[in-house]
Amino acid sequence: MNISNLKIGHRLAIGFSVILAFSLLTAGVAVWRLKVISDATDNMMASPHAKEQMVSDWYRYIHSGVRRTIAIAKSADPSLSAFFAEDAATTSKGASDMQKAIEPMLVTEKEKSLYKAIGEKRKVYTVARDAIAKAKAEGRMEEAERLLQQDFVPAANAYQELVHQLMDEQRNSINGIAQDIHTIYLESRNAMIGLGLLVLAIGIVYAWRLTVGITRPLNEAVGIAQRVAAGELSTRIEPTSNDETGHLLRALQQMDAGLVQIVNDVRASTAAIATASSEIASGNHDLSARTEQQASSLEETASSMEQLTSTVKQNAENAQQANHLAVSASGLAQKGGEVVGQVVDTMADINASAKKIVDIIGVIDGIAFQTNILALNAAVEAARAGEQGRGFAVVAAEVRNLAQRSAGAAKEIKTLISDSVDKVDTGSALVNQAGATMDEIVNSVRQVAGLMGEIASASNEQSIGIGHVHAAISQMEQVTQQNAALVEQAAAASASMHEQADHLIHAVSVFKLEGSQSLRTVSATQPAGNGALPSATVTSLLPVAPPRVAPAERQQRYRIARS
């Protein structure tokens, strides 16, 4: 399988998968070697280390018993043996327990032979120890000294030496296991370093091949794009892979072929531009004929405008009289406005009185509320005191005071209401006065209506004149619209052809095709005719587009021409 035919995403996935697989392998090897080290450590702690600890304890018991026996033997006090009897029994029992406990843990022949020799020496040691104790108990001091020097000390030394050898054997075993663990560590470290270097080498090689497989086609595509940008369309593109870069090169190949076709089509379209120029010339002749018709229509428009001027003058005089009447009506309206202002002020006073009424009503509401509370208190007090309800009199007095305040507020409300009625009457009188003023305004409006009748008559005459003007203007407008349409078409066609031709000439001329010449040297001719252009190169076939004139600007030019 050729890896260059795989997609870039698949290649990246394969590369990362391989690296991850080797990483997992490295992690698995590391975990396995750590497990080996852990098992070795557990083995060391479970057997050799435990045995070494037990032999050390055994040796301490023996050493303590030897020193105690020597002290008893050398002492002149016969009671010392009895004093240490309990400690000696405890030490002897501890040594016996250690000896029994360690026996099943011994594995090698050397350990078993040492254990057997220790047992024999222990028997000699215990016999000598017991003989010294017996001699001391019987008071035979010299005999005890002799037994110590001749029997006990050699037996104790031999006993301790063999136990020490057994302890050294366990330590040697521990050291051996520790060395094995260190060896396993070194092997694991070397294996991890080797796997790491292998993964690094594979990653570097694959990354280099992947980079080359991607960048080399991309660089080729960049070169092709740069040559196309420079106008070189004769580049041979030969994709060699089926990945994304191969698809890119094939797309560039199709783009190059499409550009070649487009350039050929653009070169062929230059003749059509010459034909469009001929049509523009014919349209200009039609525009000239319609312009003559527009001139005759303008003469008729001038005659109608004279009649329209007279009528407009009469309308202006009538409008002046209507203006005087309107001024008079404005004064009356102003007077009516002042009256209405007075009405508004009166209404404002009424509104203020109403607000006071609202406030007083609020006071009455508060008093009523307090009266209710006091009445409730009086009821409670009376119920509590029974027949002797003194507090009821106090509450009753407060109720009377509140009732008086309520009466005073009611009086104030009555007074304010009366005042509001008077002000309402005043407002009514002002409204009547405003009605009279409005009558005068109506009379003035009637006079204005009469004048407007005269204006209507004059407007009728004006309408007849405007009808003539309208007919002339309609005819002129039709012709003008046709001319404007032709002018717009001619301007748009000229501008479009000019822009397109210039753009095509300058854009297509940069492209180079096999066996073709530059577009700048291609010429296009057209037959000479009415309004036709002579033979010329393509660049000479492009007329200068006239400036476009907005409709508002054309109307302004017509007004200047009439004046």
Contact residues for 487 (Cβ-Cβ < 8 A; gap 6+): 287, 546, 549
Distance from C-alpha of 50 to C-alpha of 430, rounded to nearest angstrom: 126
Distance from C-alpha of 18 to C-alpha of 15, rounded to nearest angstrom: 5
Cα angle 357, 361, 363; round to 5: 120
Distance from C-alpha of 308 to C-alpha of 292, rounded to nearest angstrom: 25
pTM score, whole prediction: 0.35
User: What integer pLDDT is reported at residue 105 of this predicted model?
Assistant: 77
Distance from C-alpha of 274 to C-alpha of 532, rounded to nearest angstrom: 10
**Which residues are paired to 523 by β-bridges?**
537
Task: State the DSSP code for 251.
Answer: H
State the 10-residue block means of pLDDT for the chain, 563 residues long: 66 77 79 72 61 81 83 73 72 79 79 87 88 82 86 90 87 80 85 86 83 76 75 67 69 71 71 67 64 65 66 68 70 70 72 72 73 72 70 69 73 75 71 70 66 66 66 67 69 72 68 55 42 40 45 54 51
What single-letter amino acid sits at 445? V
The answer to whether the beta carbons of residues 329 and 445 sit under 8 Å apart is yes
CA torsion sign, 158 to 159 to 162 to 167? Answer: negative
Helix axes 551-562, 390-508, angle to 10 degrees: 80
Q: Classify 537 as helix, strand or coil.
A: strand
**Number of Cα atoms under 13 Å in the Cβ half of residue 205:** 8
CA 345 to chain CA centroid, Å, is: 62
Distance from C-alpha of 373 to C-alpha of 116, rounded to nearest angstrom: 114
Strand 523-524, strand 536-537: pairing? antiparallel
User: What integer pLDDT is reported at residue 175 of this predicted model?
Assistant: 81
Residue corresponding to tokens 């086609």: 217
Q: Please report the domains of the chain, with CATH numbers, ordered by start residue.
A: 3-221 (1.20.120.1730), 270-562 (no CATH)
CA torsion sign, 13 to 16 to 22 to 26? Answer: negative
What are the structure tokens assigned to 259, written together?
């550009």
Q: 140: how many CB neighbours lie within 10 A of its CB?
A: 15
User: If we measure between CA atoms, which residue out of 561, 22, 497 comes closest to residue 274?
Assistant: 497
378-391 burial string, b = 16+ CB within 10 Å, else e? beebbeeeeeebee
Q: Classify 246 as helix, strand or coil.
A: helix
Cα angle 133, 135, 138; round to 5: 110
Per DSSP, the chain holds a count of helices (H) and strands (E) of 11, 2
Q: Classify 519 as helix, strand or coil.
A: helix
**Which residues are paired to 524 by β-bridges?**
536
User: What integer pLDDT is reported at residue 161 of this predicted model?
Assistant: 92
The answer to whether the beta carbons of residues 462 and 315 sit under 8 Å apart is yes
User: What integer pLDDT is reported at residue 411 of this predicted model?
Assistant: 73
The answer to whether the beta carbons of residues 250 and 14 sit under 8 Å apart is no
What single-letter amino acid sits at 250? R
